[in-house]
Structure 1
Amino acid sequence: MESLQIGRAKLTWLRGGVTHLDGGAMFGVVPKPLWSRTYPYDAKNRVELRTDPILLQIDGKHILIDTGLGNEKFTEKQLRNFGVLEQSSVKESLTKLGLTVHDIDYVLMTHLHFDHACGLTEKNEKGNYLSIFKQADIIVSNIEWHEMRHPNIRSVNTYWKMNWEPIINQVQTFNNHIEIVKGLRMIHTGGHSEGHAIIVFEDGGECWIHMGDLMATHAHQPALWVMAYDDYPVTSVHQKEKWMSYGYDKNAWFTFYHDAYYRALRFNDSGQKIDSIKRKR
């Protein structure tokens, strides 16, 4: 498992599963001759996308950023359509670090689409879904939490009851922003979903930003390169431009949940890559 120390924060990438989705959908209106130069694709025009939660260890707290694909949540048709070749092994990843799911103090949900939220719950022997991280406060924007429970015609296929009903008593919502521990903020952005949030950490001169699905992979660095999956693409562009510029000015690290090739990249104030953590394949 890859790790990165930034100021007081230690980040470790767990194994949450993998999907393969259509490259055209992942890059929206960007022509294939452009995006294909920066991100590989297969014979079916699909791109590999990890769903790997980040374990953040800071000030004696164990914090999880998103939760992976979970297990036994998909029909055979969904496994095929989403190109799921690997499901979650988050518990096994934690065991290797000497931890269990009961050690997690907070779960920070950038948003609640199934590929981020399926790892919140699991089925017991009676077929009922239960919370996995029973000791954790689950933090999400109030807009996202509302839509999770009241999806519209577009979002109903990605907000699943099995992922929210068992955790309802653990959820803590926020409006514009919330500070989890000193220097660690969740900030509502909208864009990819109406309630989407990013995570920003600053500690002295050190900074990292988790853009969630506003910059799903390293290939999505250009501000205009947003997904066809985005509910509010113009908002995505504006928020992405704002926070990428913020990070460039601070030579911040940008971390990834979906990228199959990089765990994190650091840029200078001109947006040029100056350091990277590659995923071990």
Structure 2
Amino acid sequence: MPDRLRLGVIVAADDETRERVEPFRLALEEIADLPVDLFLMDTMADAVEAIAGGRIDYVRLSPSAYAAAYRLCDCVEPLVTAGPDDFPARFHAVLVARRGEDGSVALEDLKGTRVAVGGTQSVAGYRVPLANLAADGVNARSYFSTLVEVQDPLDGLRAVLDGRVQAALGWSTLAGEAKNGYTAGTLNEYYVSGAPGFKNLEIVWRSPPIPYSAHTLRKDLPDALKRRVRAGLMDMRREAPDAYLAIEPDLPGGFEPVVHADYRPVLITYDTAYSALLDPAAQ
């Protein structure tokens, strides 16, 4: 066992990060039965470099940041992810189109059409769908006539309904009621907005499920310690809700276990086979 556990936390614009995460640090000390030292990181990129470089042992990363860390070194593994509610803690990139006159539309119907996408760094609006469509045998740059960058996913849906494009990328939990646009995501935001045309929209493609976060440890830590930390995190929302919300204030649904393969939809965006497809210069 190590003498101490080094916890990295991203500050971003929160000047009170140290005080906010203290309940989590204390809970982690009890779970790990080790002193836990806190290291504050300015950005997600700093956290990726710190855990890949061995300067910290544990950090909460986004799915894409976990993939980036794994790309730097095969030295990290995820333990748990958090969710927004009691549904499975996963979301999907989705391709949404307008229903045809017969009431349905399929991906094959969109060949040669215009598709709205997000910026080139957007995970669900660009990188994940383009790479995973390619993995399904659909090269978006040749299959569709044009990829049209839009301001945000909601603008993409409006573009579908007013005819500027024939489909748009977004994201969805695909949990709950379809008639309400599911529990969260682009369709749900459009439904809640009350804008017209919601019933004319249909999902024609979805990515594999993607965890919301990645509580990541160094792979070289003892397996007994990793099992202990995972088990403690799984019980945290029930046994120490203040500690849980200190590290996951925006995802109050609790932790569930994950493994490396759960992040494959994001991991393949770093595969060299898809570099040309995702490269902005290829547009």
Coarse TM-score class (shorter-chain normalised): under 0.3
Instruction: Tell which structure's C-alpha radius of gyration is larger.
Output: 2
Q: TM-score, normalised by structure 2?
A: 0.25
Higher percent of residues as strand: 1
Higher percent of residues as helix: 2
Q: TM-score, normalised by structure 1?
A: 0.25
Higher relative contact order (CA 8 A, sep 6+): 2
